[in-house]
Amino acid sequence: MKTHSLSNFVKLFIILISTFFFIYPLYWMGSMAFKPETDWASFPPKLIPNPISLENFYKGLFVMGGLQGIFDSLIISFSNTFLSLMVGGLAGYGLSRYKGGRNIAFFILSQRFAPPITFTLAFFTMFNLMNLLDTHIAVIIAHLTFNIPFAVWLMKSFFDGIPKDLEESAMIDGCSLTGAFLRVVLPSSLPGIIATAVMLFMFSWNEFLIQLFLTRSAVKPLPTLIPRFYGGHDILYGVVCAVALLASIPPIMIVTIFQKYLVRGLTFGYVKG
Amino acid sequence: MRSPKSLFIIFILPSLVILSAIIVFPFLYNLYLSFQRWDIRFKGATPEFIGITNYLQAFSDARFFNSLNKTFYMLSLAVPVEFLFGFLLALFFYEPFKGRRLLSFFILFPLALSDAVVGLVWGLVLVPTYGPVDYFMRTLGLWELLGFKRPISLVTTYPMEMIIVADIWQWTPFFFIILLAGLASLPKEIIESAEIDGAAKFNMVRYIMMPLLKQIIGVALIIRIVDIFKTFGLPYVMTKGGPGFASEVASLYIFNQALLFLNITYAASLTIILILIVTVVINVFIRGYGLRF
Amino acid sequence: MSWNNKRYSRREAISTAAKVAAGIVIAGGAGGFAGYYAGMTTATPAVRTETKTITAAAQTVTYTTREVITRTVTVGATPIGPVEITLACDAGHNYLPWFDTQEAPSGGHYGQNQAPKIKDVLGINIVGEEIDPGTQFSIYMADLTGPGRYNIIVYFPTYNGDILGGGWAVPLDDYIAKYHVNLDDLPPVYRYLYCSWGGKTYALPYDGDFHALYYRKDVFANFDIRRRFRDKYGRDLEPPKTYDEYLQIAEFFTGWDWDGDGEDEYGTIEDFKDLTWGIFFDRFASLGGLWFDEEMNPLVPNEAAVKALEDLVKITDYMPPGFLEFGALEVFDSMTKGITAMTLTWPDVGPRAGSGEFPVKGDQVGTALVPGYVVGGRLLRYSWTGVGRVMIITVNTPEEKREEAFRILKWMWDTSVYWVPSGLNGEDPFAYSHTGPGALPHWKKANPAWSEEGILDYIRAAAENFAHGYPDLYLPGAAQYTDILSRYIMMAVRGELSPRDAISRTVEEWRSVTKNLGEEKQKTLWRQQIVEYQRAGIWPK
């Protein structure tokens, strides 16, 4: 039908424009990563890197600590995501089912209101006293301040979307509450869990200020390496782009692996009736 | 009869305990500092109590109000666009189609980049003379078309707007992924029965999907609103708050006061005020939006 | 069916709770253990050491400069016992003089990597930490007021008011005398303003930054262009000596294609984005301007400040589009990519052109002393020497280690002629011996693609510029003062405010900042600085 194909056309158009909008800066970043230093500010700008050079990657990974950065960031972000998801997800479930938790819920959310600068000096003093400066665990703990509230609230809203009847039917059938939770609720909320986990990872992976203050040389997560590229008076654009590209690989891999769970009509487990 | 309440409290407890343990000290320390004056740069200087002087100073600080102004401006433009755009894309990507996985991969990519990198990349894309946008505008004669004699620098002429564009680029995928997960969690039966009943797409979205997604949308909006108040890396790298004070958002100004000017006690009071503002805004939003908890 | 009807037996509740608790403990424990274990295995500070043998025989290299200053570098001095010194320095490039894994006999990495040599020869183990320059100030202050781990820190002299004036550095005069460090090798601005406070020396330079005027030597020498210029303005085309000449030349070169590459070019470019107040200060200082007078009146004389800002606004007509956004790299490249005929900026342009990797090569770029103004019949030319780096010994260093720390400073002082010439590390010449003919072999080794004449031209002009150096503001709160000044300059340049309004608002806000920081305290510290200005001969009589 005419209207049908028109709306399809509009849809296609919007998708194309959007993809162009999203891809273009990524393309520019990618092309910068492959340009040798003399071409970073070339006039007129080179749209396609020529010659293609891997020196930025080499520099970023091996000379400027990119490799250690990836390793450190992975440890921090994975640990933090895991912790936040477990602890926060559980709380999200509790808050979702417990009717009187309004104030607690708001309190938890309010932890996220403070700008990171609030924490830098205090955390520095705190972790210094505990002799935990420049360790992974300090950063993992510090990141809980914003990730737990996020996990709690997001998981709570996903759990809210799952009718209580599901657990109740399961319990009638003889499950304990925990069993119902594990066997029925969790699988139904899988897309939510995936989305939350991905975002938790991203938030921790890309956090900058707190990591900068809590780490020195033993632990050097990726965002703290970026200042290194502001050498002397100039900024090593190409190297920053190369490292950023490499830095985005783990999070993107996670997204890619779990993308298939973000598709329509995904409901597992118990269905009422 | 034992109520199930206690069980749920046990579920909630670990989060509460952990958060209280790590947040309490920084927050109280910050609060404490906001009532002091501490010339930290001088050897042997100690904090001295000055009551609410810092707060009074903040209320007559034109630069602070300017920064709040800029932050609210960013809030009013960035959040709605990010939400609508993200929602639209989620609706489109909800149904499988050819190339869907590849395209959504690109759309989600900006999330994997840190604030500073996003700022840097957009700065590079928009810089005149050396950047691609200006290059296209020049070669296609678009500057003259828009009425400019010479190419202008977008970032210095429209700093807040460019920051907002970069922010939209970075955070639309946030709404995209969450709303996609939300749509994917919708009970199959309801959607299918609506389709069988011949509901128009638009009505389906409006009357069926959105109400079901209301809570998730609400939470995503709250998270994003709160984060905009905290936005730092992006404006810092793109414009450093300039030119002049045109793009100095609240957290940039607080950063300058705390780490550049070393007025940490004054910065502490600004932080408290900012937290209060956020609390009020979120409260208003929750009530107005009708977010249930 | 609602929850309330369901009966929970005590046992069930406890068992569920126990399972939940166990789950959390395991999850938390697993996560925590992983992190903690990882933390433990990598908690040892990274110490990069290299073993290298150096000839034990003492090597003496003597240079003579135009002021007949002799400098001796001795390698193979008596080693002292094993000592560990903690160093904090800018991350990235600027760290290379200390640690450079790519040390090379020639080229950009020539002369770097001194820390392992210090270990070999002096037996002092340097534990180095790279610090982000953007938040460096707060990180250093956090350490100085807190754990006090750093023994030597390398920082921007703009923090001198806070660090030296705050009493965080060890006075070096005795060591300087004992180890025969010849401070006459330094131009007045570095010697008195970078390194001293209130009459005492506390620091040694690590990087000298200054502004220089660069121009396209080949274009200026071109017969047709010279003729055109002469026809238009009635005088010969020479590197400008005053800012009026500078404006004129910039106007001449803007808007047409004078190098035949098919694109229109521009007159000049300066650094607006990062250190806006610097380009203002080149002009303001040359008009006889001061940061403050003895009574803490800001930007005196105000009329000179207004004129300096007006001139700055005027010159922006002749700059390439986007100049307000250009970071240092893009500014340098405007010269090396042939976009502008001149530029007034950092020392980096010379070595960049000299590297031969850009379209505009070393010999095409001439370096000159920055222009100035004629004030009271005299031509006054000052080059703003903002940024830069100095090294100090922190007061947190225990007494026994201080002399060792000084030996490290002396080593870097002595070897600076090896590592400064490299354009790669971002450190610039700061001593006359770096720019004398005796330093030439090192410049050539560090910049193999640069011709000898090119190097000589550059280093002579460099010496001239830093000899005419004018310091940055080194008072506590300098960051705040300059932040305000920069922002108002930007607003004036963009036409949002008239230069007069911009200056008057700046002055007003500066007064309130001074009040906030304690007017009497600031005055005392500023007067200590004035002592140094006077010693340097910069303070008006």
When scoring B7, B130, B138, B269 by the number of chain C Cβ atoms within 10 A, the one with the most, hence best to mutate, is B130
What's the gap in Å between the CA of A241 and the closest CA on chain B?
8
3-class DSSP state of B219: helix
Per-window interface: C 410-439 vs B, CB < 8 A: none
Contact A90 C20 (CB under 8 A): yes
What Å distances lie between residue A130 and B54, C42, C471, CA to CA?
31, 17, 42
Task: Give how far the C-alpha of residue C62 lies from the chain's centroid of Cα atoms, to the nearest Å.
Answer: 28
Residues C186 and C258 in one domain: no
> What class, spelled out in words, does domain B26-41+48-289 have in CATH?
mainly alpha
**Is C21 or B34 the better-scoring residue by pLDDT?**
B34
- CA torsion through residues C249, C255, C256, C257, sign: positive
End-to-end CA distance of chain A: 38
**Which residues of chain A lie closer than 8 angstroms to B87, CB-CB?**
none
CB-nearest to C327 from A86, A90, A234 is: A234
Residues C184 and C239 in one domain: no
From CA B180, how far away is CA B213, in angstroms rounded? 10
Task: Dump pLDDT digits (tens) for B134-158.
Answer: 888 888 888 887 877 777 888 888 9
Specify whether the CB–CB gap between A188 and A104 falls below 8 A. Answer: no
pLDDT at C395: 94
pLDDT at C329: 82
From CA C382, how far away is CA C379, in angstroms rounded? 10
pLDDT at C171: 95
pTM exceeds 0.80 for this model: yes
**Which residues of chain C lie closer than 8 angstroms to B151, CB-CB?**
321-322
**Is C9 or B284 the better-scoring residue by pLDDT?**
B284
List chain B domain ranges.
26-41+48-289
**Which residues of chain B lie closer than 8 angstroms to C10, CB-CB?**
2
pLDDT at C210: 92
Query: Average pLDDT of chain A?
Result: 81
Contact A82 C102 (CB under 8 A): no
pLDDT at A234: 67
- The interface predicted TM-score (ipTM) is 0.83
Residues C371 and C287 in one domain: yes
Closest CA to C533 of C294, C175, C372: C294
pLDDT at C328: 84
In a domain, C24, yes or no: no
pLDDT at C76: 42
pLDDT at C45: 31
Q: Are strands C124-131 and C83-90 parallel, antiparallel or unpaired?
A: parallel
Q: Could you give the percent of chain B with pLDDT greater than 70?
A: 97
From CA A229, how far away is CA C132, in angstroms rounded? 9
DSSP C364: G
In a domain, A12, yes or no: no
In a domain, A268, yes or no: no
Closest CA to A59 of A29, A36, A40, A27: A36
**Is B119 or A5 the better-scoring residue by pLDDT?**
B119
Q: What is the CATH number of the domain that holds A130?
A: 1.10.3720.10
Closest CA to C98 of C83, C85, C107: C85
pLDDT at A228: 67
Q: Could you give the percent of chain A with pLDDT greater than 90?
A: 17
CA C155-B263-B156 angle, 5° bins: 75
From CA C91, how far away is CA A217, in angstroms rounded? 11
Q: What are phi and psi of C488, to 5 degrees?
A: -70, -35
Specify whether the CB–CB gap between A19 and B106 falls below 8 A. Answer: yes
**Assigned token pair, A94:** 């509790």
Stretch among A183-187, A195-199, C386-390, C531-535 having the lowest mean pLDDT: A183-187
Contact B262 C162 (CB under 8 A): yes
pLDDT at B2: 38
Stretch among A168-172, A182-186, A233-237, B219-223 having the lowest mean pLDDT: A233-237
**Which residues of chain C lie closer than 8 angstroms to B156, CB-CB?**
322, 324-325, 494
Please name the residue of chain C whose CA is at the shortest distance from the CA of residue B38: C517
Interface of B with C (CB under 8 A): 1-4, 6-7, 10-11, 14, 39-44, 123, 126-131, 134, 150-153, 155-157, 240-245, 256, 258-263
In a domain, C295, yes or no: yes
**Which residues of chain A lie closer than 8 angstroms to C43, CB-CB?**
134-135, 218
From CA B64, how far away is CA B253, in angstroms rounded? 7
Contact A232 C93 (CB under 8 A): yes
Give one DSSP letter per residue of C10-77, joined into a string.
HHHHHHHHHHHHHHHHHHHHHHHHHHHHHHHHT-SPP----------S-B------TT-------BSP
Number of domains in chain C: 2
Chain B neighbours, 3+ Cβ pairs < 8 A: A, C
CB-nearest to C496 from B40, B127, B244 is: B244
In a domain, C120, yes or no: yes
Task: Dump pLDDT digits (tens) for B162-210.
Answer: 999 999 999 999 999 889 888 887 777 777 777 777 767 777 777 778 8
Number of domains in chain A: 1
In a domain, A44, yes or no: no
Specify whether the CB–CB gap between C211 and C344 falls below 8 A. Answer: yes
From CA C183, how far away is CA C185, in angstroms rounded? 5
Specify whether the CB–CB gap between C406 and C172 falls below 8 A. Answer: yes
> Going by C-beta distance under 8 Å and a sequence separation of 6 or more, which residues neighbour residue C487?
B241, B242, B243, B244, B245
In a domain, A89, yes or no: yes
In a domain, A270, yes or no: no
Domain containing C100 equals 83-207+389-427
From CA C369, how far away is CA C462, in angstroms rounded? 8
- Rounded to 10 degrees, the C-alpha dihedral B233/B238/B242/B245 comes to -40
In a domain, C224, yes or no: yes
Q: What is the CATH number of the domain that holds C359?
A: 3.40.190.10
Count of beta carbons in the 10 Å neighbourhood of residue C67: 10
Residues C371 and C489 in one domain: yes
Q: Could you give the percent of chain B with pLDDT greater than 90?
A: 37
pLDDT by residue for chain C (541 residues), tens only, comes to 333 333 434 444 444 444 444 444 444 344 334 333 333 333 333 233 333 333 333 333 333 333 323 344 444 445 555 789 999 998 878 889 999 888 888 888 898 999 999 998 888 999 998 887 777 888 898 888 888 899 999 999 988 888 898 889 999 999 999 999 999 999 999 999 999 998 899 999 999 889 999 999 999 999 999 999 999 999 999 999 999 999 999 999 998 898 888 788 899 999 888 788 999 999 999 999 999 999 999 999 999 999 999 999 999 999 988 888 888 888 998 998 889 999 999 998 998 898 888 889 888 999 999 999 998 889 999 999 988 899 999 999 999 899 999 999 999 999 999 999 988 888 899 999 999 888 999 999 999 999 999 999 999 999 999 999 999 998 888 889 999 999 999 999 988 999 999 999 999 999 999 998 889 989 999 998 899 999 998 888 7
pLDDT at A68: 86
Domain containing A99 equals 68-230+245-261
**Which residues of chain C lie closer than 8 angstroms to A224, CB-CB?**
132
